[in-house]
Chains A and B, each alone.
Chain A
Amino acid sequence: MTGLADLYLQQLKTGIATMLQYRASLVIWLIGNVLEPLIYLVVWTTVSRSTSGTVGGYGTRDFAAYYIVLMLVNQMTFSWVMYEFDYRIREGTFSADLLHPIHPIHADIAENLSSKAVSLPFMIAAAAGLTLLFHPAFNFSWAAAAAFVPALVLAFLVRFLVDWTVALAAFWTTRVTAINQIHYMAVLFFSGQIAPLTVLPRPLQIVANILPFRWTVGFPVELLLGRLTAAQIGTGLAIQAAWLLAGTLLVKYAWRVSVKRYSAVGA
C-alpha cells in the first residue's frame, strides 16, 4: 500500500510539474471550464426571469447557485482520459505503459488529481466572482456539507471509471472521436449540465436516474444545495456505491479484453 501511495505522490508531482510548463494553455483551458456553465447560468436565469417565477422548482437565484456549484463539481469530477487514450493508441506510446508492472489506471487517476490541485484555486476564485455577480441563493447546512464529501468522492470515482471504460474503445476502432462525441452529449444531457434534471420531462428524468451520469454531477450538486431529503441522499449514496462496484468490474473486464485485442493485432 505504501508503494501505491508513493506512486500516487510521484505521479502527482510529475503531473503538476508538467502542467505548470504550459501556463498559457492552462489558463485558456480553465476559462473554457468557467464559460460553459456560465452560458447555461445566463440562459436559465434569463428564462426564469422572463417567466417571472420558477422553472422546475428553480428561481433566478436558485439557477445561479446551481450552476456555480455545478461548475465546481464538474471541475472536480471531470476527466479527459478518452482523448488521452486516443492519442496513446495512435502514437503507440501505450506500449511503454504496458511494460510497467502496475495497472495504468493509477497513473491516470493521479494525473487527473494533479490537474485538479492546480486548477482548484482558480475555480474557487471564479466561483467567488460569479457569486458577487449573480447573488445566488445558497441554503447551506452542515449536514448537507458532510454528506457532500463522500458524494463528491464517489462521483469522481464513478465518472473516472466510466470515462476510462469508454476510453478503451480506442483499442477497437480508430474512429474514437465519434464515440467520445456521443459520450460527451450523454454526459451533458443526463448529468444535469444542460439543465437541472427536475426541469427535464419526467421520462427523461427516469432515464437519467438509470444512467450513471446524474450520480457523477447532478446528485452532489443538488445535495449541497439542500434540494434532497435525507432519504434521497441515502438512496443516492447507495446508488453511487453500486455504480462504483459496477464500474470497477466493468473496467477490469474491459481492460482485460482490450489488452488481449491490442496484443493480438499489434502493439
Chain B
Amino acid sequence: MAHDASEPFKDTRQVPRRQGRSLQFRPRPHYTKAVETTPVIQVRDLKKTYVVTEREPGLRAALSSLVHRRKSHVPAVDGISFELAPGEIVGFLGPNGAGKTTTLKMLSGLLHPTSGQVQVLGFTPSRRERAFLRQITLVMGQRNQLVWDIPAADTFELDRAIYRIPAADYRKTLDELVALLELGPLLGKPVRNLSLGERMKCEIAASLLHRPTVVFLDEPTIGLDVTMQRRIRDFIAEYSCRHGATVLLTSHYMADVEALAKRVIVIHHGQLLFDGDLAALVQRFTAHKTIVVQLKDCAADMGSYGEVVSCEDGRSTLRVPKAETARVTGRILADLPVIDLTVEDPPIEEVIEQVFARGAA
C-alpha cells in the first residue's frame, strides 16, 4: 500500500558502493550534482509545529488551567527544503533549539511532519516501513541504546537478530567495525563499565551493524576528548567512503564539520539560512580577515593599520575589513621591517557565530 509513492525512487535504494577510495575522498557538493543521480533525501517545505500548553505562575492560574488550557503553537521547523545526493556528507548546523534534532527525527520517521514532504530512499519516513528502517540509522550522542548491564557484544548479537543480518555479513561487518574503531578490548566488558568515549564507539558500531545507507548523526562526538573526536570523525568518513553511505551530521564542534562535510546546511529558528559549500559560507559571512605580522621589533604602533587583537614578541595579530585586506597588507610591507606576514580567514567558530547572529537579527 505504501509503496506507490516510493516507486519513482526505487533505484536509489541500491546506493553505488565506493570501495577502495582513500580517506581523502570528499563527496561532490550538491550544486554540481549531476542530473543522473536521484537524491537520497528530499525535503520540501518541511514544517513541524509543537503545541504546548502554557500557564501563568500562581495558584489562581493553576485553578483556571483546570478548566481552560491555553495552548500556543511553537514552530520548531518552519518550511525548510533541501536535497542530499547519494554518498554526500553534509553538516547540519544551527544553535540550540534551531530545529536540527526535530528535522533529523522527521527524516528518520520518529516524528510526523506538520506539513511539507519528506522522502528518504524513496520512502515516506513517518510510515516507518521495515524496508526503510533497515536502511537507516540515527545516532544520538546523548542517548544510549546499548543494554547497560551486559557487554556490548551481547547487544550486537541482539541487533543482528533484530535486523535479521545474515551470519556471514554480520561477522564481516563486525570485524570491520572492531578493526576501525579498535573495539577489541571493549566487547567483553559490561557497558556500564566503559568510559564515555568507549561507549560512544560501541554505540556507533551498534548503529552501523546493519550497514545503513543513510546515517543521521546527532552530536556524535559530544562530551568526548579531542583524540576520540578525531577517531570518530575519521571513522565516519571511512564508513561513508567504503559503503557509499549518505550522512547528515549535526555537531557543535566545528572541527567535525570542517573535517567531514564540504557542504553545510545552516538553520536558525527553524528556517534555512544557508545551504552550500563550507568555503562559500565563510566567504559570505566574514566581513573581516586576520593579518598576522612578525616584525624585527614590536616598537611600531600597529593600531593605525587595523584593530590589534594581540601583540607579543614582535608578533601582531590584526583584524581588518575584508575589502581593506590588500591595501593594508601593502602598507605594512612598505612601511615596516616585516619578517613574516600571513593573511587568514577567521576561525570557523567565529564565522558560524556571525551567521547565527545575523539570522537572529
Complex Cα–Cα for A71 and B30 (A):
65
Q: Is the CB of B161 within 8 A of A101?
A: no
Residues of B within 8 A of A206 (CB): none
Q: Is the CB of A263 within 8 A of B112?
A: yes
Distance in angstroms from A134 CB to nearest chain B CB is 37
Residues of B within 8 A of A101 (CB): 130-131, 133-134, 162-163
Contact check: which of A9, A99, A259 meets B137 at CB < 8 Å? A99
B128 within 8 Å of A (CB atoms) = yes
Q: Is the CB of A21 within 8 A of B111?
A: no
A79 within 8 Å of B (CB atoms) = no
B290 within 8 Å of A (CB atoms) = no
B147 within 8 Å of A (CB atoms) = yes
- Looking at chain A's contact residues, the main secondary structure is helix
B331 within 8 Å of A (CB atoms) = no
Complex Cα–Cα for A99 and B104 (A):
12
Complex Cα–Cα for A92 and B128 (A):
18
Contact check: which of A3, A7, A18, A100 meets B150 at CB < 8 Å? A18
Asked whether A21 and B150 contact (CB < 8 A) given A3-B164, A9-B161, A102-B162, the answer is yes
Residues 92-114 of chain A, each 1 if its beta carbon lies under 8 Å from chain B, else 0: 11011011111000000000000
Residues of B within 8 A of A10 (CB): 157-158, 160-161
3-20 of chain A: CB within 8 A of chain B: 3, 6-7, 9-11, 13-14, 17-18
Asked whether A14 and B160 contact (CB < 8 A) given A92-B143, A95-B143, A265-B50, the answer is no
Instruction: State how many residues of chain A have any CB contact under 8 Å with chain B.
Output: 28
Complex Cα–Cα for A52 and B110 (A):
63
Residues of A within 8 A of B190 (CB): 21
Q: Is the CB of B112 within 8 A of A260?
A: yes
Contact check: which of A7, A18, A99 meets B147 at CB < 8 Å? A18
B217 within 8 Å of A (CB atoms) = no
Complex Cα–Cα for A101 and B133 (A):
5
129-180 of chain B: CB within 8 A of chain A: 130-131, 133-134, 136-138, 140, 143, 145, 147, 149-150, 154-155, 157-158, 160-164
Complex Cα–Cα for A264 and B147 (A):
27
28 A–B pairs (Cβ distance < 8 Å), ordered by A = A9-B161, A10-B161, A11-B161, A14-B158, A18-B147, A18-B149, A18-B150, A21-B149, A21-B150, A21-B190, A92-B143, A93-B145, A95-B105, A95-B138, A98-B109, A101-B130, A101-B131, A101-B133, A102-B130, A102-B162, A263-B110, A263-B111, A263-B112, A263-B126, A264-B112, A265-B50, A267-B105, A267-B110
